[in-house]
Amino acid sequence: MGLFKLLASLFAIVVASTGILVLHEHRAVVPSRFVSKGAVPTNEVLTLRVGLALNHLVGLETKLTSVATPGSHKFRQWLSKDEVKAFVQPSPETVSAFTGFASANSLKTAAISPNGEWWSITLPSPKQTN
């Protein structure tokens, strides 16, 4: 139960910091071949990948459309790596909310994408959290 509360808190802080929650997939029933194998061994860890809210996704889409549209005054004026990073890198507030939550709960985090929009978070097994 402690791990579930921890995960619920993580999702709550991410939603609170971004104001957006996107459902990517939903299953109405458990898959027929799913088999419960009991409790997680105490030496197991769960590593999740978390996508933080991008800084300015709409601006990036607008810019990419303008550079790819023949007749646009920006046509073929491609973006530099730093320009792309400015659009997608999460705000310092978003990163701080995420890493602050993880730190307060003794969770290990690491940025796993060049622009810092994807992070990994490592959760210890339920027995290790008690």
**Predicted confidence (pLDDT) per residue in 45-98, tens digit:** 888 898 888 888 788 888 888 888 888 888 888 888 888 888 888 989 989 988
The encoded tokens of residue 2 equal 């402690």
Amino acid letter for position 128: Q
98 closest CA partner among 23, 1, 18, 21: 18
Q: What is the mean pLDDT of residues 4-22?
A: 55
Q: Pick the closest to residue 49 from 14, 83, 74 (CA basis).
A: 14
pTM above 0.75, yes or no: no
Residue 110 pLDDT > 50, yes or no? yes
Q: Are 73 and 109 in contact (CB under 8 A)?
A: no
pLDDT at 1 over 50: no
C-beta of residue 102 within 8 angstroms of C-beta of residue 111: no
Residue 33 has pLDDT above 80, yes or no: yes
Residue 16: per-residue pLDDT: 52
